[in-house]
């Protein structure tokens, strides 16, 4: 296995040197040297590795002795550091929030959010709804070697059709605007709102599949999760939070390789501001937090309202169910895609993803499983794995440089030394 991967690495280097020396000067090549590299595959970490990057993509990754650095290449010394693939958030939102309010979508806010995600090592965010033109433009413009903030994929509006015919029309509009996935909600918000009827979500899913699109579903209850899977849903965008998952559900997920996105931090955000959370004192959080939100969430009136909110207490109980379900599904071999539902007010982008990894570990996953779900598996679940999720030749050079090994302790993902997107250093 080792010699096979080395052969690929060497072949990639050889190809580079014979095919493109004239039009690609060596100065466009960067060699990141000396780090321990977790490449995100099942291979063991590589000590004293060299990552060769050209035009935003990885040319070769391997032990220093096996990777030839071209003369004139720029060198970045990373001795003593650990490199992991950039994190992929399979359920976020961007561009829409200012302070405690939504509805402020703008190009400026999209860029602001993508920079914030990148500052915490999240180099790809799959937005599951509320995306407008500026988000589509960001997605369409990101396949460039100069990108230096998180990549974005978009769902467009969250569809809420009133009839099967309306469902067809809205999905066709989604297809025309080239969404990356279709998003619907099948939920009654703890009994507060009507739930989308089965004939409507069936029409959404059928039409989406006709147009070659996949459907992500927001849900809460196990019965709904099974029903939407029966109807052909492609992605479970939240934890099942009412009851423990069962073997039938596991079998349904595995039969069609449908992935499950826990969004544990979404649950935390529904009740934690009944008091001031400890991380409000963490300089690493405060560095990029929107202080208007922090200040609002510290207000005693808001905190006591949350403390006495029935919904908050219900979601708090839901988190315990979600934690156990994550462990059950992971043990059963279901694809887990790390996701948080950050972006709306009180759900802090970047920092929450790192907390999500810790929550997943607390739920019983090993650091290796947690990292896989936040890199390779999330990319695979969102159909991004041809170019993202692992550090392998031809993929985008999106990675995080850490001062400590996250496989030893998942909290080491907080010890960020630098973040690179397409080989470019993101603003710290």
Using CB atoms within 10 Å of the CB of residue 57, give its burial: 0 to 12 exposed, 13 to 18 middle, 19+ buried.
middle
Residue 187 Cβ vs Zn ion, minimum distance, rounded to whole Å: 11
User: Which CB, 207 or 341, lies closer to Zn ion?
Assistant: 341
Stretch that binds Zn ion, among 278-286, 289-297, 335-343, 387-395 (CB under 5 A): 335-343
Residue 303 Cβ vs Zn ion, minimum distance, rounded to whole Å: 24
Residue among 250, 272, 268, 271 at smallest CA distance from 259 = 250
User: Which CB, 128 or 225, lies closer to Zn ion?
Assistant: 128
Stretch that binds Zn ion, among 78-86, 99-107, 126-134, 240-248 (CB under 5 A): 126-134
Crossing angle of helices 164-176 and 198-210, in 10° steps, is: 30
The reply on whether position 131 binds Zn ion by CB under 5 A is no
User: Which CB, 102 or 412, lies closer to Zn ion?
Assistant: 102
Cα separation, 99 vs 14, in Å, equals: 52
DSSP string for residues in 52-63 = EEETTEEEEEEE
Contact between residue 360 and residue 326 where contact means Cβ atoms under 8 Å apart: yes
Q: Which ranges constitute the DSSP H helices of 52-106?
A: none
Q: How far is CA 292 from CA 97, 109, 284, in A?
A: 11, 15, 17
- Kindly give the pairing relationship between strand 82-85 and strand 87-92: unpaired
Residue 176 Cβ vs Zn ion, minimum distance, rounded to whole Å: 23
Stretch that binds Zn ion, among 94-102, 239-247, 287-295, 338-346 (CB under 5 A): 338-346
Residue 92 Cβ vs Zn ion, minimum distance, rounded to whole Å: 8
User: Which CB, 128 or 374, lies closer to Zn ion?
Assistant: 128
Instruction: Take residue 86 and report the two structure tokens written for it.
Output: 């950039």
Stretch that binds Zn ion, among 127-135, 351-359, 361-369, 383-391 (CB under 5 A): 127-135
User: Which CB, 30 or 340, lies closer to Zn ion?
Assistant: 340
Residue nearest to Zn ion (CB): 341
User: Which CB, 269 or 375, lies closer to Zn ion?
Assistant: 269
Contact between residue 124 and residue 426 where contact means Cβ atoms under 8 Å apart: no
Instruction: Show Cβ contacts of residue 7 under 8 Å, excluding neighbours closer than 6 positions.
Output: none
Contact between residue 265 and residue 340 where contact means Cβ atoms under 8 Å apart: yes
Q: Give the total of residues touching Zn ion (CB under 5 A).
A: 2
What are phi and psi for residue 105, nearest 5 degrees? -60, 130
Residue 145 Cβ vs Zn ion, minimum distance, rounded to whole Å: 31
User: Which CB, 341 or 392, lies closer to Zn ion?
Assistant: 341
Residue 153 Cβ vs Zn ion, minimum distance, rounded to whole Å: 13
Cα separation, 351 vs 46, in Å, equals: 27
The reply on whether position 341 binds Zn ion by CB under 5 A is yes
Stretch that binds Zn ion, among 30-38, 165-173, 254-262, 339-347 (CB under 5 A): 339-347
Q: Which residues bind Zn ion (CB under 5 A)?
A: 128, 341
């Amino acid at each position: 296995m080792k010699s096979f991967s080395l052969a690929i690495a060497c072949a990639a280097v050889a190809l580079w040197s014979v095919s493109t020396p004239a039009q690609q000067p060596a100065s466009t090549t960067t060699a990141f040297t000396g780090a321990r590299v977790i490449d995100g595959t099942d291979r063991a970490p590589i000590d004293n590795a060299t990552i060769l990057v050209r035009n935003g993509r990885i040319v070769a990754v391997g032990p220093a002795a096996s990777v030839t650095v071209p003369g004139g290449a720029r060198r970045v010394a990373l001795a003593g550091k650990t490199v992991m693939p950039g994190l992929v958030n399979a359920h976020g939102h961007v561009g829409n929030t200012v302070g405690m309010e939504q509805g402020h979508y703008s190009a400026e806010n999209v860029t602001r959010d993508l920079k914030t995600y990148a500052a915490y090592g999240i180099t790809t965010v799959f937005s599951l709804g509320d995306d407008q033109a500026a988000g589509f433009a960001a997605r369409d413009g990101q396949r460039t070697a100069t990108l230096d903030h998180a990549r974005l994929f978009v769902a467009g509006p969250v569809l809420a059709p009133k009839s099967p015919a309306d469902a067809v029309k809205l999905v066709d509009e989604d297809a025309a605007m080239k969404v990356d996935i279709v998003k619907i909600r099948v939920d009654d918000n703890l009994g507060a709102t009507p739930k989308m009827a089965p004939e409507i979500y069936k029409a959404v899913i059928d039409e989406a599949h006709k147009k070659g699109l996949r459907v992500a579903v927001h849900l809460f209850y196990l019965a709904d999760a099974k029903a939407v899977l029966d109807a052909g849903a492609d992605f479970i965008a939240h934890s099942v939070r009412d009851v423990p998952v069962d073997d039938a559900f596991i079998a349904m997920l595995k039969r069609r390789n449908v992935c499950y996105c826990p969004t544990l931090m979404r649950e935390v955000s529904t009740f934690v501001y009944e008091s001031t959370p400890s991380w409000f004192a963490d300089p690493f959080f405060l560095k990029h937090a929107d202080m208007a939100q922090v200040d609002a969430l510290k207000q005693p009136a808001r905190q006591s309202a949350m403390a006495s909110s029935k919904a908050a207490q219900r979601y708090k109980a839901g988190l315990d169910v979600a934690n156990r379900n994550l462990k059950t599904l992971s043990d059963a071999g279901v694809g887990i895609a790390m996701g948080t539902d950050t972006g709306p007010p009180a759900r802090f982008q970047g920092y929450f993803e790192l907390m999500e990894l810790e929550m997943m570990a607390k739920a019983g996953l090993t650091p290796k499983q947690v990292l896989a779900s936040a890199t390779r598996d999330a990319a695979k679940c969102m159909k991004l794995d041809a170019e993202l999720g692992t550090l392998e030749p031809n993929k985008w050079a999106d990675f995080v440089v850490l001062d400590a090994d996250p496989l030893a302790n998942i909290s080491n993902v907080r010890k960020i030394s630098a973040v690179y997107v397409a080989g470019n250093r993101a603003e710290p």
